[in-house]
């Protein structure tokens, strides 16, 4: 019955794990196990009781269950469900209520009896909350207990809404949401102010009483908390860690969510690499040397044989002969990531003795000037994440295009829209029918009760478009080199977004039009609402389609990923580092300032109150300091990139 392929447990891991290459494969495997259970119970004529979760994680599992129902006749007539939680204060009809979410993603598409689907009530009066929660517990028991509970994990480590501090013996109850959880949900509620503060959630004890528990996590942004839950001690500070004590709980992860586990991050701590079917390739060597340098607080070239020996890295001494040689291998790898010529040098200006532009492929470095396509998921990601490099590419004579993938309208406050629209109304330039359209909108915005109608969202999108245009002007890009793709997936509510053929076709069309030599895309998979992740999936699919159609431009194309406001690449993953001068840092700041709606009123700054320009400067300065601490040159700031080579794409192209 249990079909998930479990990894052999390492000494650091305190819970069973199944890790898949992609979240799609992982979700299919989880759905298959649920389907097997549902079928078995139907054969036995017994009911099947499922515990369900909401959020972005289980969406793909639900999509697969719906497919199994439609295409393979999987029936849910005997299934009873209990959801983990509901926001307190939201009626079931509210677009962001978990009841609505479940109807939309699952229940409406199955033959399940609506009376057997249970979600805590978000509108039960305060005085009746305790009774409601006890009745919920009682209903689970009366149904025979939970057979199978699926879970996501919040970045606070919560399961359900059992935030840090929730005890092991907690039952279904009213709770207060953690600020980080509220920040992650803010996108669904148009910002911080409208985000619920409380929820009713099953307790830790309720969840642990399920006979089988599967916790799923997808994406880099979950990697650290997954490591704590799996490798850390059992603690109420990370309620997912309680699953370590469950007799039949499995963590199901995609590769990104598993990436911070010791087996991936520092596998040499688990014993010889060969025994783990790993090898000391360049990347692993670099990772170990950087780790050692940081641990010892020493520049790479000062590491000694003793340092290696004491940290259990004798293998590197054996392979390289001495610390001196191993140090050089790590040092040169880092040095060769650095170039001030991200698009290669102009051959007409080449001087004898010029160092090669190492991070670029040999063939690619011959083409000059290059056509460059910078993909910005939101209208400010280009300048926030790689504004300095963008300016350099323009200044060095390349043909730089910027494509803004989504409108970003959701992140413009009503206050910001009010300023622009009331100005337009009062300008005296708007009259007649246009004025008649504008007046009621201005009135509603002034009164503070404007609805998020397509018209208002359209204005907000236009505001961001103008900001992006102004910022791109600072970098020297304008006119037909700016592309606003307005990908349709963004029009759905944040946590319900899924991309489709139209999104892929739009990006594919642009790639074929620009025929870029260099593509820069957001690999910043930590953004709170998953837009960057979706944009990267759209790019992956567009590249696969282009490769299958044998698009000639692909032969000369290099793909780079940047990281945005939320995190930087780990040093060992950097393939290209572009140093910036103090002047370039200031120019980038000017460009970021053009995004006025994202300044002090930004809806999504969240717990980190620094503005985007400050985060950008801190991040790129810290990176420069990290290079310097390794013993490399001291720069003002560095922007870093990783080579992009998605497996699905590589399969279809000889790269
Ligand atoms: C949802 C729930 C939460 C989520 C968690 C992860 O019913 O109880 O614990 O599972 O917050 O959310 P996503 O999947 O959106 O990252």
Which pLDDT tens digit goes with each residue over 567-592?
778 899 999 999 999 999 999 999 99
pLDDT on residue 367: 87
Question: 609 is written with which tokens?
Answer: 């109150």
Q: Given this model, what pLDDT does residue 82 score?
A: 98
User: Would you say the CB of residue 217 lies under 6 angstroms from ligand 1?
Assistant: no
pLDDT of residue 612: 84
Q: Name the DSSP class of 10.
A: P
What pTM, to 2 d.p., does this model score?
Answer: 0.81
Q: Is the peptide bond prior to 236 cis by the omega test (within 30 degrees of 0)? A: no
- For atom 5 of ligand 1, the residue with the nearest CA is 154
What pLDDT is stored for residue 652 in this prediction?
56
Q: What's the CA angle centered on 224, arms 222 and 229, to 5 degrees?
A: 90
Alpha-carbon dihedral 584, 589, 593, 599, rounded to 10 degrees: 160
- Confidence tier at 393 by pLDDT (50, 70, 90): very high
Q: Which atom of ligand 1 is nearest to the CA of 151?
A: 10
Whether the CB-CB separation of 301 and 264 falls below 8 Å is answered with: no
CA of 124 relative to ligand 1 center, distance in Å = 22
pLDDT at 654: 45
Once rounded to an integer, what is the mean pLDDT over residues 606-613?
70
Instruction: Write out 138-188 in H/E/C secondary structure.
Output: HHHHHCCCCCEEEECCCCCCCECCECCCCCCCCCCEEEECCHHHHHHHHHH
- Enclosing H/E stretch for 69: helix 59-72
Task: From residue 267, give the alpha-carbon distance in Å to each of 16, 229, 305, 566.
Answer: 18, 18, 20, 26
Computed over every residue of the chain, the mean pLDDT equals 92
21 alpha carbon – ligand 1 mean position (Å) = 21
pLDDT, tens digit, 9 for 90 and up, residues 207-239: 999 999 999 999 888 999 999 999 999 999 999
pLDDT at position 76: 98
Indicate if 548 belongs to the active site: no
How many helices (H) and strands (E) the chain has is answered by 22, 17
Per-residue pLDDT reduced to its tens digit, 272-323 = 999 989 999 999 999 999 999 999 999 999 999 999 999 999 999 999 999 9
What is the per-residue pLDDT for 63?
A: 95
Q: How far apart are CA 382 and CA 400, in angstroms?
A: 12
| Close Cβ partners of 427 (under 8 Å, ≥ 6 residues apart) | none
Q: Is the confidence at residue 604, as pLDDT, over 90?
A: no
Residue 1 has pLDDT above 70, yes or no: no
- How far away, in angstroms, is 161 Cα from ligand 1 center? 8
Residue count of the chain, please give it. Answer: 655
Closest-lying ligand 1 atom to the alpha carbon of residue 83: 7
Do residues 308 and 326 touch, judged by C-beta distance below 8 A?
A: yes
Report the share of the chain in percent with pLDDT over 90. 80
Q: Which residues contact 504 (CB under 8 A, 6 or more apart)?
A: 538, 541, 542, 545
pLDDT at position 359 is 83
**CA pair distance 559, 246, nearest whole angstrom:** 44
pLDDT of residue 353: 76
pLDDT number for residue 611: 83
User: How many angstroms separate the CA atoms of 206 and 140, rounded?
Assistant: 9
- Please tell me if the CB atom of residue 159 comes closer than 6 angstroms to any atom of ligand 1: yes
Q: Which of 401, 650, 397 is nearest to 510 (CA)?
A: 401
Ligand 1: does its nearest atom lie under 6 Å from the Cβ of 472?
Answer: no
**Residue 57 alpha carbon to ligand 1 centre in Å:** 7
| Structure-derived torsion over alpha carbons of residues 429, 433, 437, 443, reported in degrees to the nearest 10 | 60
Is 392's pLDDT higher than 80?
Answer: yes
Please report the pLDDT score of residue 188 as a whole number: 78
Q: What's the whole-number mean pLDDT along residues 180-201?
A: 84
pLDDT given at position 162: 97
Pocket test for ligand 1, best of 23, 30, 57 (most atoms within 8 A of CB): 57
Locate tokens 């003002």: which residue? 636
- Rounded distance, CA 517 to CA 364, Å? 8
Query: Which ligand 1 atom minimizes the distance to the CA of 159?
Result: 9
Centre of ligand 1 to C-alpha 217, Å, is: 9
Mean pLDDT of all residues in 143-169 = 96
Report the C-alpha gap between 465 and 589 in whole angstroms: 18
Q: Which of 86, 163, 584, 617 is catalytic?
A: 163
Inter-residue contact 327 to 300 (CB < 8 Å): yes
Helix (H) or strand (E) holding 482: strand 482-484
Mutate to test the pocket of ligand 1, among 81, 102, 153 (most ligand atoms within 8 A of CB): 153
Angstrom distances, CA of residue 326 to CA of 270, 286, 305, 308, 356:
21, 9, 10, 10, 23
Higher pLDDT, 557 or 361: 557
Separation between Cα atoms, residue 492 and residue 55, nearest integer Å: 14
Residue 404: what pLDDT? 98
Question: Is 53 near ligand 1, meaning CB less than 6 Å away?
Answer: yes
CB 158 near ligand 1, within 6 Å:
yes
| Sequence-distant (≥ 6) Cβ neighbours of residue 593 within 8 angstroms | 599, 613
For residues 247-271, one letter each, b for 16 or more C-beta atoms within 10 angstroms of the residue's C-beta and e for the rest, the string is eebbbbbbbbbbbbbbbebbbbbbe
State in Å: Cα 211 to ligand 1 middle: 20
Helices 531-548 and 501-514, packing angle to 10 deg: 60
pLDDT digits (tens, 9 = 90+) for 63-79: 999 999 999 999 999 99
Cβ–ligand 1 distance for 160 under 6 Å, the answer: yes
Rounded Cα distance, 631 and 69, in Å: 59
Kindly report the protein residue whose alpha carbon is nearest to atom 11 of ligand 1.
154
Per-residue b/e over 529-544, b at no fewer than 16 CB within 10 Å? bbbbbbbbbbbbbbbb
Whether the CB-CB separation of 498 and 489 falls below 8 Å is answered with yes
CA of 160 to the centre of ligand 1 (A): 7
Please state the rounded mean pLDDT for residues 369-376: 97
């Amino acid at each position: 019955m249990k079909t998930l392929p479990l990894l052999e447990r390492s000494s650091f891991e305190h819970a069973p794990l199944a890790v898949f290459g992609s979240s799609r494969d992982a979700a299919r495997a989880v759905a298959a196990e649920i389907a097997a259970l549902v079928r078995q119970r139907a054969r036995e004529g017994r009911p099947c009781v499922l515990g369900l979760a909401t959020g972005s994680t289980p969406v793909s599992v639900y999509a697969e269950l719906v497919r199994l129902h439609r295409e393979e006749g999987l029936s849910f007539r005997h299934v009873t469900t209990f959801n983990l939680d509901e926001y307190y204060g939201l009626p079931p009809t509210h677009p962001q209520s978990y009841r609505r979410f479940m109807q939309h993603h699952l229940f409406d598409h199955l033959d399940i009896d609506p009376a057997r689907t249970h979600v805590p009530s978000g509108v039960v009066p305060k005085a009746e909350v305790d009774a409601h929660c006890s009745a919920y517990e009682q209903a689970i028991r009366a149904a025979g207990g939970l057979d199978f509970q699926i879970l996501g994990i919040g970045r606070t480590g919560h399961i359900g809404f059992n935030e840090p501090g929730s005890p092991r013996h907690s039952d279904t109850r009213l709770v207060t949401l953690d600020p980080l959880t509220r920040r992650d949900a803010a996108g669904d509620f148009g910002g911080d102010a409208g985000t619920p503060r409380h929820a009713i959630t099953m307790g830790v004890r309720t969840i642990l009483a399920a006979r089988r528990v599967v916790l799923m996590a997808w994406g880099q942004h979950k990697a650290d908390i997954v490591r704590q839950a799996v490798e850390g001690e059992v603690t109420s500070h990370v309620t997912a860690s309680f699953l370590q004590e469950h007799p039949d709980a499995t963590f199901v992860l995609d590769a990104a969510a598993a990436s911070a586990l010791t087996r991936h991050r520092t596998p040499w701590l688990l014993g010889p690499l060969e025994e783990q079917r790993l090898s000391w390739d360049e990347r692993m060597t670099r990772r170990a040397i950087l780790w050692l340098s940081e641990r010892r607080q020493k520049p790479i070239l000062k590491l000694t044989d003793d340092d290696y020996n004491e940290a259990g890295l004798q293998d590197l001494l054996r392979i390289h002969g001495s610390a001196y040689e191993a140090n050089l291998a790590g040092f040169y790898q880092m040095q060769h990531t650095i170039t001030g010529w991200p698009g290669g040098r102009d051959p007409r200006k080449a001087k004898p003795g010029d160092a090669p532009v190492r991070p670029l492929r040999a063939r690619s470095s011959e083409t000059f000037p290059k056509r460059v396509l910078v993909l910005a998921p939101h209208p400010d990601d280009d300048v926030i994440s790689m504004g300095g490099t963008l300016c350099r590419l323009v200044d060095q004579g390349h043909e730089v295009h910027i494509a803004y993938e989504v409108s970003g309208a959701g992140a413009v406050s009503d206050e910001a829209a009010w300023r622009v629209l009331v100005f337009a109304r009062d300008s005296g330039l708007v009259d007649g029918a246009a004025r008649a359209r504008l007046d009621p909108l201005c009135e509603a915005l002034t009164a503070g009760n404007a609805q998020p109608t397509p018209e208002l969202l359209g204005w907000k999108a236009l505001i961001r478009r103008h900001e992006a245009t102004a910022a791109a002007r600072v970098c020297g890009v304008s006119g037909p080199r700016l592309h606003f793709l307005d990908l349709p997936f963004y029009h759905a509510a944040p946590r319900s977004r899924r991309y489709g053929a139209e999104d892929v076709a739009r990006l594919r069309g642009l790639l074929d039009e620009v025929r870029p030599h260099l593509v820069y895309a957001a690999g910043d998979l930590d953004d709170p609402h998953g837009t960057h992740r979706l944009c990267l999936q759209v790019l992956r699919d567009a590249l696969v389609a282009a490769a299958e159609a044998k698009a000639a431009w692909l032969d000369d194309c290099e793909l780079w990923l940047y990281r945005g406001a939320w995190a930087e690449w780990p040093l060992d993953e950097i393939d290209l580092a572009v140093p910036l001068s103090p002047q370039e840092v200031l120019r980038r700041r000017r460009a970021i300032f053009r995004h006025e709606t994202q300044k002090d009123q930004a809806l999504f700054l969240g717990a980190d109150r620094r503005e985007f320009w400050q985060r950008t400067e801190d991040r790129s300065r810290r990176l420069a300091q990290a290079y310097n601490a390794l013993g490399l040159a001291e720069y003002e700031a560095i922007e870093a990139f990783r080579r992009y080579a998605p497996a699905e794409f590589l399969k279809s192209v000889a790269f």
